[in-house]
Structure 1
Amino acid sequence: MRRTSPRAPLRVSAAPTLMAVVAPTLPLAGCASHGAPSYALFGAYFPLWLVSAIAGIVGAIVAHRVFVATGWAAIVPYQLAVCSAIGLVVAVIAWLAGTGPFA
């Protein structure tokens, strides 16, 4: 906001106002009208993120059981972090298998 002379009207730029209106809508650019990807399991529709989360939890549990069965549980430090990371990798692979380049 600048004034060129004391009597000149106050000029307000439209760019900040436009950005205040447009910026909140930018995260919605990826949304589509057809809804979230979902799969029919046991007669009900489950969203893909829920299926991926369940796959990740199962992957973390399986990784922990493998560590215990092989004796790596005594060797591997920070097991919670390691098993959680393995579960996250499994969840991302499940997500990509449903929507990404693997689909």
Structure 2
Amino acid sequence: MAVAACALAGCSPAAAPAVPFLGAYFPSWLLSSFAGIAAALVVRAIFVRIGLDDVLPMRLLVYLSLAAAVGFLVSIAVFGR
């Protein structure tokens, strides 16, 4: 019984990863992923403008990694998670 109680100790509403935004609660990971996708789109536009996009060997992997990195950074810096 004590082991089950310890396993459920982390389920508290105070630690819920939700952010109030425009009157609704959004999960923090969703807002972080939107920030990562937006950053990847901006960087892609810059790369296309300077001609670097044509020489990237694996474009999808580069932009996906960039979006994930920015999303993780936003999650840690803004939400502390």
Once residues 27 and 68 of structure 1 are traced to their aligned partners in structure 2, the CA distance between those partners, rounded to angstroms, is 50
AA of the residue aligned to 1:52: S
2:62 is the alignment partner of 1:61: no
* TM-score normalised to structure 1 length: 0.61
Residue of structure 1 in register with 2:63 after alignment:
83
* 5+ long unaligned stretches in structure 2: none
Aligned residues of 1:48 and 1:98 also touching (Cα < 8 A): no
1:37 aligns with 2:37: no
**Counterparts in 2 of 1:10-25, with a 5 A limit?**
none
CA distance in 2, matches of 1:72, 1:24: 54
Whose Rg is larger?
A: 1
Question: What is the percentage of aligned positions where both structures have the same residue?
Answer: 35
Question: Amino acid of the residue matched to residue 79 of structure 1?
Answer: R
The 2-side partners of 1:34 and 1:90 are apart by: 26
Partner-residue secondary structure (3-state), 1:55 = helix
2:26 alignment partner AA: F
Count of residues paired in the alignment: 81
1:71 to 37, 51, 60: 51
Residue 91 of structure 1 aligns to a residue whose secondary structure is helix
Pick closer, same or farther for the CA change 1:64–1:30 going to 2, 3 Å: farther
